[in-house]
Amino acid sequence: MGKVLIFGTNLASYRAAANLARAGHKVVLLNRGEFIWDKFTQMQWQQPRDIINGYSKGFLKNVMMATGNIEVYHNSSLLSVDGQPGNFKVRFKTRLPTVDEFKCIGCDICLEKCNAKHMPRPLGPGIYFVENPEECLDVCPVKAIQIPKEEEKEITVDAVILAPEYEPEEISKYVGNVENVISFRDFAFMFRGKGVDKRFLKRKDGKYPHRLGFFIPGGFENFLGSSEEYVIVFREAIFMKEMDPELEVHIFVKELRLYGHNQMKLYDEAREKGINVHIIDNVSISEENGEVKFNDVALDLLVVMPGQKVPEDWKDIIKASGIEEENGFARTKPFSLETTRDGVFAIGEFVKPVSSTEAVYHGTAIVPEVEKYLKPPEKPQIPNFEFVRDDFNPRVGLFICGCAAKNLNIDVDVDYISTKDFLCVRGEEIIKEIKENNLNRVVFAACSPAVRGSMLEMLAMKAGIHPSYVELVQLREYVSRVGGDDRKANALVKAAIAKARKDYFVEVPVTATKKGVAIIGGGLAGLLAARYINGRVGVYIITDEFDEPHDITGVKEGTLNMSEEELKEWYENLKREALQKSRHIKGKVESIEGTLGNFRIKVGDEVIEAGVIIIATGGEITEKGNHIAGRFEGNTLHSQIGSILAKRRDKKVTYEFMKSYSLLDLSPPEGERGEGEPIGYVKAREYNKEIASLLGLRIDEDGFFYFAQEPLHNVERMGIQFFLAEEPFGGVFVAGLAHRPMSIEEEMEEAGFAAQSAIFLMRDIESPAGKLVSTTNPRRCAGCGICVDACFSGARFIDTEDKIAKVNPQLCLGCGACANVCPSGAAVLVAYRADHMFEMLKEVVK
């Protein structure tokens, strides 16, 4: 087990902390604010309405509670990092917040008895501040109130990860001080929490803007920016047009950085919807008679999406951690997240301007990178519970939390009823009462599951009640806090009791996962993934030949200025290391059977058994084409590769859609608009089609794979991978040029993500599905296959022998779509059967 210090809480940091903790390492997280989220991540600045913001924090909290491996220090600043990898002495300053947000249950007692304030936040009790903590220590039932004291600490860790947060540029720097010009964040806040609606779109003077403009300054005059700004602005512009088709919407950009997979579709969609996209070279913004004049377009309101700035305090971080800088960012070793100082890593927006997807990749790929300095983790202890099983004689116990049922009068008919002031601190009593009264069903009438749900479920498990026999009623958030009355409270509690009586025991089946990763194709990303896995599980690389390294290297100095020889040497090293610990199998894939955990891949005479497949078929870099950027017939070329090549080969480029990218913004290649000589573009392999049909995956019109279950609507926007990464992806990952044109730097990120996710999927624990798995009633199933089509995660299949639908519980995520479409009522989501629902409905309408 190793110990890692993570400084800062950007989007990549949340992910890294959780991933390292789940891999069994100890994590010390230094948070720079009073609470987690106090310092905004890139996503919170750029798109405060996106759901990912809620998930990032909730996710960290869940992992923290489940593993106990994360330690958080608030209000901290880094003082120094001394020593060597495996033995770093890190000194930092920290101050306790007045309320420990991880202990707080949101009971509001401090609001009544102390001088306290509350700030609501999604997925949790919200944040509390106590002005007079000294006098309030005994007020809090869970002892979450603490006295803030500045202190200096020194700890010893094996490795250090730096992940300080993003800051946006002031918009006045781009546009000066003009009336009716606002930043994107202020614009997004108009709708925040309230929904996109015409009523909320207003100028400062209260008028509705009939002409709305969006301006992205990234790319003009060395302003830094990532692709994220473009994705968010295009998506938002489309929302605006959908909200009010009469609205005149303009977008002003210098270039289109929609280089993620299928993101150019956003541009097409915007134009189809009648949004005016202006690709311009010069900007003049002025004010005339209460309207904004952007070049010669008159607007009522202009929204500016600022790019990234390099915050002043990054200098101190760079100094304290003893690393080198590059244009204000952390300098890293070529194709690595490690800084030039061994054992000190940088992730997220501290490396270069990144999109949220890239940040999520960083947070995952960092695990194998850091692990070379860490001792292997101990095997986790899986607690062994014995459960009562009785589907026919329900004895339901109702436990009401006094904090949730404030002023409510619950009067129900049930086998056992107990009201306690704070359920979550009275665990022992609850377990005793459950056992003494021979209960086999438990209903907790308490607060939101985001606060104490998993903890109450754990209590029941300790008392021998299986989670499938536990129901939770959110009395506090659904009734007492929102002006609910006794009638509503009783209806909800009665419904839960009715459901509990109908509950039946659901055994969570565990399918054995074959420990092995099959990498299909000889792309660079495959070798990178093999090296990341490093022999921890068996690796099979199935390909006839390996791609030569292409020279779309990356935007960081160390990679961009790498010579051909250095690149070749790096590649040879990579290939040697990757092949040392994996098996190279020559041949083409003939057939693939099975699903996640049990793939059987036939190559020639051999059948390879693997749990996870990584597709890395690579791509061809050709010099034939009409244009280096944007799109031309039959190819969605992107773009950033043109600028990297131009820079590397010192060529002057012509561009239509784009010329620079990420750190290249600071010294873009020389260029002008118009037709030009081709420099290079990526062509997808024909082989992709074969693999896609074998695995039932989708490929886009240019031949690139969709990443797992990308929905049709440009999923790669935003960090949707953030929560998709929690799901098994069907056990198939796509990395590198098989996915989209990208630089080696990006291939490294994507390969690391695939490798670490593969290892995570092969850990020794039960299926993630839990009680929400779906099953088939064999007596009713006709084998029609409708449920197979309805299942988005590929968990359902028609058994070839029995000719009925079966479920792979490792893939099932419990959405219940199959139960809904099944014409014969054979497919059921076990915790939400129709009779459950009917019983609940009967009670709930009373």
Partner 1 sequence: MSEKEFEPVIVGFFCNWCTSAAADLAGTSRLHYPANIRPIRVMCSSTVDPVYLIRALQEGADATILGGCHPGDCHYISGNYKARRRVVIVKTVLKSLGFDEDRVLLEWISGSEGPKFARVMNEYTEYIKKKGPSDFKYVDSLGGE
Does 621 interact with partner 1 (rule: CB under 8 A)?
no
Distance from chain centroid for Cα 31: 19
- Please identify, among the stretches 330-338, 486-494, 539-547, 612-620, the one whose residues bind partner 1 according to the rule CB under 8 A: 486-494
Strands (DSSP E) found in 190-335: 211-215, 248-253, 276-279, 285-288, 291-294, 297-299, 301-304, 308-309, 325-326, 329-330
In the block, residue with structure tokens 């790929």: 365
578: alpha, beta or left? (left if phi > 0; alpha if psi -120 to 50): alpha
Site string for partner 1, 651-690 (x = CB under 8 A): ----------------------------------------
What residues numbered 50-69 form the site for partner 1, per CB under 8 A?
51, 53-54
Q: Is residue 82 a contact point for partner 1 (CB under 8 A)?
A: no
Cα distance between the two ends of the chain: 55
Using CB under 8 A as the binding rule, whether residue 406 contacts partner 1 is answered as no
CB of 134 to partner 1, least distance (A): 27
Is position 102 an interface residue for partner 1 (rule: CB under 8 A)?
A: no
Q: Can you list the positions of beta strands (E) in 554-678?
A: 583-585, 589-593, 599-603, 606-610, 612-615, 619-622, 631-632, 635-636, 653-655, 671-673
Helices within 581-663 (DSSP H only): 640-649
Q: Report the C-alpha gap between 191 and 198 in whole angstroms.
A: 9
Q: The dihedral of CA 764, 539, 619, 615: what is its sign? A: negative
Distance (Å, rounded) from C-alpha 731 to C-alpha 31? 34
Interface with partner 1, residue 765, by CB under 8 A:
no
CA gyration radius, the chain: 28
484 lies in the site for partner 1, by CB under 8 A: yes
Q: Are 110 and 133 in contact (CB under 8 A)?
A: no
Q: Which is nearer to partner 1, 27 or 772 (CB)?
A: 772
- The helix/strand/coil state of 151 is strand
Note whether 786 binds partner 1 by CB under 8 A. no
Instruction: Name the DSSP letter for residue 701.
Output: T
Distance of closest approach, residue 281 Cβ to partner 1, in angstroms: 33
- On whether the CB atoms of residues 346 and 337 are closer than 8 A, the answer is yes
For 506, residues 6+ apart whose C-beta sits below 8 A from its C-beta are 466, 468, 771, 773, 830, 831
Q: Decide if residue 719 touches partner 1 (CB under 8 A).
A: no
Binding mask 441-480 for partner 1 (x = CB under 8 A): -------x-x-----------------------x-xxxx-
User: Would you count residue 841 as binding partner 1 (CB under 8 A)?
Assistant: yes
Write out the binding residues for partner 1, residues 105-164 only, by CB under 8 A.
Answer: 106, 120-126
Does position 91 bind partner 1 by CB under 8 A?
A: no
Integer Cα distance of 683 and 744 in angstroms: 16
User: Quick one: 157 or 489, whose CB is closer to partner 1?
Assistant: 489
Does 816 contact partner 1 by CB under 8 A? yes
Q: Does 793 bind partner 1 (CB under 8 A)?
A: yes
Q: How many residues of this chain interact with partner 1, rule: CB under 8 A?
A: 62
Q: How far is the CB of 487 from partner 1 (least distance, A)?
A: 7
Answer for which of 425, 786, 798, 844 binds partner 1 (CB under 8 A) is 844
Q: Could you identify the residue written with the tokens 């009734």?
A: 479
Judged by CB under 8 A, the stretch of 373-381, 385-393, 521-529, 709-717 that binds partner 1 is: 709-717
We find the least distance from the C-beta atom of residue 706 to partner 1, in angstroms, to be 11
Among 155, 709, 784, 786, binds partner 1 (CB under 8 A): 709
Least separation in angstroms between CB 178 and partner 1:
30
HSE-CB at 322 with a 13 A cutoff on CA atoms is 15
Residues 528 and 538: their CA atoms lie apart, in Å, by: 15
| Number of Cβ atoms within 10 Å of the Cβ of 518 | 27
Residue number with CB closer to partner 1 (103 or 689): 103
Which residue, 12 or 708, is less far from partner 1 as judged by CB? 708
**Of 1, 181, 153, the residue nearest 89 (C-alpha):** 153
Which of 206, 245, 383, 711 touches partner 1 (CB under 8 A)? 711
The stretch among 132-140, 571-579, 647-655, 812-820 that binds partner 1 (CB under 8 A) is 812-820
492 forms part of the interface with partner 1 (CB under 8 A): yes
What residues contact 259, with CB distance under 8 A and at least 6 apart?
A: 227, 638, 639, 640, 658, 661, 740, 741, 742
Would you say 283 or 837 has its CB closer to partner 1?
Answer: 837
Of 596, 555, 560, nearest in space to 758 by CA = 596
- Between 188 and 682, whose beta carbon lies closer to partner 1? 188
Closer residue to partner 1, CB minimum distance, 465 or 819: 819
| Site membership for partner 1, residue 79 (CB under 8 A) | no
List the one residue out of 565, 529, 559, 532 whose CA is nearest residue 662: 559
Among 813, 826, 827, 830, binds partner 1 (CB under 8 A): 813
385, 387, 723, 797: which one binds partner 1 (CB under 8 A): 723
> Considering only CA atoms, which of 67, 135, 127 is closest in space to residue 102?
127
Q: Does 819 bind partner 1 (CB under 8 A)?
A: yes
Using the rule CB under 8 A, is 491 a contact of partner 1?
yes
Buried/exposed code over 275-307 (b: 16+ C-beta within 10 A; e: otherwise): bebebbeeeebeeeeebbbbeebebbbbbbbbb
Nearer to partner 1, 308 or 474 (CB): 474
Considering the complex, state which of residue 542 and residue 805 has its C-beta at the smaller distance from partner 1. 805
Q: How many CB atoms lie within 10 A of CB 246?
A: 8
Report the nearest approach of partner 1 to the CB of residue 362 (Å): 23
The reply on whether position 419 binds partner 1 by CB under 8 A is no
Restricting to residues 175-194, which ones interact with partner 1 according to CB under 8 A?
A: 192-194
* Residues recorded for the chain: 846
> CA 323, CA 345: separation in Å to the nearest integer?
9
CB 513 within 8 A of CB 765: no
Tell me the closest approach of the beta carbon of residue 335 to partner 1, in angstroms.
32
Nearest distance from residue 47's CB to partner 1, in Å? 11
Is there binding between residue 611 and partner 1 (CB under 8 A)? Answer: no
Contact, 586 vs 543, CB < 8 A?
Answer: yes
Q: Which residues pair with 302 in a beta bridge?
A: 181, 213
Minimal distance in Å, beta carbon 14 to partner 1?
16
- Asked if 495 interacts with partner 1 (CB under 8 A), we say yes
Q: For partner 1, which residue of 485, 569, 677, 686 counts as binding (CB under 8 A)?
A: 485
Q: Does residue 202 interact with partner 1 by CB under 8 A?
A: no
- Is 829 a binder of partner 1 (CB under 8 A)? yes
Stretch that binds partner 1, among 487-495, 535-543, 552-560, 611-619 (CB under 8 A): 487-495
Work out which of 115, 437, 561, 820 binds partner 1, going by CB under 8 A. 820
Interface with partner 1 includes 86 (CB under 8 A)? no
Do the Cβ atoms of 142 and 105 come closer than 8 Å?
A: yes
Q: Write down the least CB distance from residue 713 to partner 1, Å.
A: 5
Structure tokens at 797: 């299949």
Using CB under 8 A as the binding rule, whether residue 817 contacts partner 1 is answered as yes
Nearer to partner 1, 75 or 356 (CB): 356
Give the residues lining the site for partner 1 (CB under 8 A): 49, 51, 53-54, 106, 120-126, 192-195, 448, 450, 474, 476-479, 481-485, 487-488, 491-492, 495, 709, 711, 713-715, 720, 723, 772, 790, 792-793, 813-817, 819-820, 829, 832, 834, 837-838, 840-842, 844-846
